[in-house]
Amino acid sequence: MIKIRSILNNSGRDRIIFNFSFFEKAFILLLAICLFCAVAPQRAAAAIAFDAKSNSTPNSTNVASDSWTHVTGSGLTNSILIIGVSWRNGGASTYGVSSITYDGSSTGITHIRTDGQDGGTGSRRTAFYYLLNPASGSKTIQVNFTGEVYVAQGGAVTFEGVDQTTPIGAHNGQVSDTEDPVNVTVNTTCANNYVVDIVCIREDANVPDGTPEIGSPTELFTFNSTATGYGLFTGMSYKGPNSSGDVTMQWDITLETLTSSTRPSKK
């Protein structure tokens, strides 16, 4: 089992957090990151505010990259783009992310954390990256891998009102093959924090589904490719503003048995 924590600081004192979890059988990876609010000297902290969300739609296997469009709002102040990536390798491969670009450039894109499970077949991983003050408008996000992965899924979310000096604080995560629901707790040190998470499930024998729970989180996206043969369920959500102290992100997982005609081949 692996645990991960990450927090985003604002010049005020607000944060956003992300969580991951994995199961072997219904292998789940959950990762969480925390963001802080921005604040001007002698003034109260500005509130973090949601701007936009986006995600890719896997439609093929054995890919060297994954891309999708994200529309960042105009006139944002102290903004941040969070990019979450989940992928499943084929066979005994252990490929990872080589680079990420936003509007064709990798400048300023910072890696937060990568976690996953290697060994055996079909290793799976999840990672978070961020970019401060992303350019507004409709832009392409592209994730490039070190080799051809079996299937990949990406998602992104933009917020404003985030600390630009130390945007990320703590992060926490979990890798598990036995837990349902799966959850991760992040200890935050300030009020008005936000928590963002990403979940990845590798499952060949059943069709997994997941729902973010505890404290009314907002679902950013869920995507289930298992029924079409890719063997991957992913999702992202966020929650905030939160009080200081422990913040728990949780996904409730259900499994529906596949028939022999729809069961994907194992990779």
Q: What is the pLDDT of residue 7?
A: 38
Q: Which residues pair with 85 in a beta bridge?
A: 127, 154
The C-alpha atoms of residue 63 and residue 48 are separated, in whole angstroms, by: 35
Residue 177's pLDDT band, with cuts at 50, 70 and 90, is low
Is position 237 within any domain? yes
**What is the b/e burial string over 1-38, where b = at least 16 CB atoms within 10 angstroms of the residue's CB?**
ebbbbbbbbbbbbbbbbbbbbbbbebbbbbbbbbbbbb
Range scoring the smallest mean pLDDT among 25-29, 39-43, 72-76, 257-261: 257-261
Is position 4 within any domain? no
What count of other Cβ atoms lies within 10 Å of the Cβ of residue 208?
24
Domain housing 151: 19-257
- Nearest in space to 14 (alpha carbons), one of 179, 241, 220: 241
What integer best gives the mean pLDDT of the chain? 77
pLDDT at 217 > cutoff 80: yes
pLDDT at 88 > cutoff 60: yes
What percent of the chain is modeled with pLDDT above 70? 68
Is position 64 within any domain? yes
Is position 197 within any domain? yes
- Report the predicted TM-score, pTM, of the whole model to 2 decimal places: 0.82
Q: What is the pLDDT of residue 148?
A: 95
Residue 124's pLDDT band, with cuts at 50, 70 and 90, is confident
Q: What is the pLDDT of residue 1?
A: 29
Is position 238 within any domain? yes
- Split into its structural domains, the chain has a count of 1
- Collapsing DSSP to helix, strand or coil, 149 comes out as strand
Residues 6+ apart with CB under 8 A from 266: 121, 122, 204, 231
Our CA angle for 231, 102, 229, nearest 5°, is 10
Range scoring the smallest mean pLDDT among 36-50, 80-94, 153-167: 36-50
